[in-house]
Amino acid sequence: ISSQISIIFGSTPQNYTRTLANVGKANSSYDVEIISPDGVIVKVEPKKLVFPKLGNKSRYSVTFTRKNKGAMNSTTQGCIRWYTADYSVRSPIAVVFKD
């Protein structure tokens, strides 16, 4: 259920929606861990994805807001991690700051 998110970032917040499919166990729920790139606020909603059956799909929204002015053309990385006791899935985040 991984998908990389790459952002070219000016001053406007960026919003994305992603759809994930359950390839793990039925009746599972995944909690989110956010490792924000330096200089970026990352907000994910909802904070938990619930999958009643194998193959079910669920959506989440992620908003990226720039905290401060980074150096022109500088880059930073982070990730969104969805996890259960048995599984962990990461979606890498790559950011390029543009002024």
How does pLDDT run across 35-89, given as a tens digit for each residue?
999 889 999 999 999 999 999 999 999 999 888 765 666 788 999 999 999 889 8
Q: Which fold has domain 5-97?
A: Immunoglobulin-like (2.60.40)
pTM, to two decimals? 0.81
Contact partners, residue 12, CB within 8 Å, separation at least 6 = none
Give the residue, 5 or 86, on which the prediction is more confident: 86
Residue 90 burial (CB count, 10 A)? 15
Instruction: Indicate the SS3 state at residue 14.
Output: strand
Give the pLDDT confidence score for residue 6 in this predicted structure.
58
Per-residue model confidence (pLDDT) at position 2: 44
State how far the alpha carbon of 16 is from the alpha carbons of 70, 71, 84, in Å.
Answer: 22, 24, 23
Whether the predicted pLDDT of 4 surpasses 60 = no
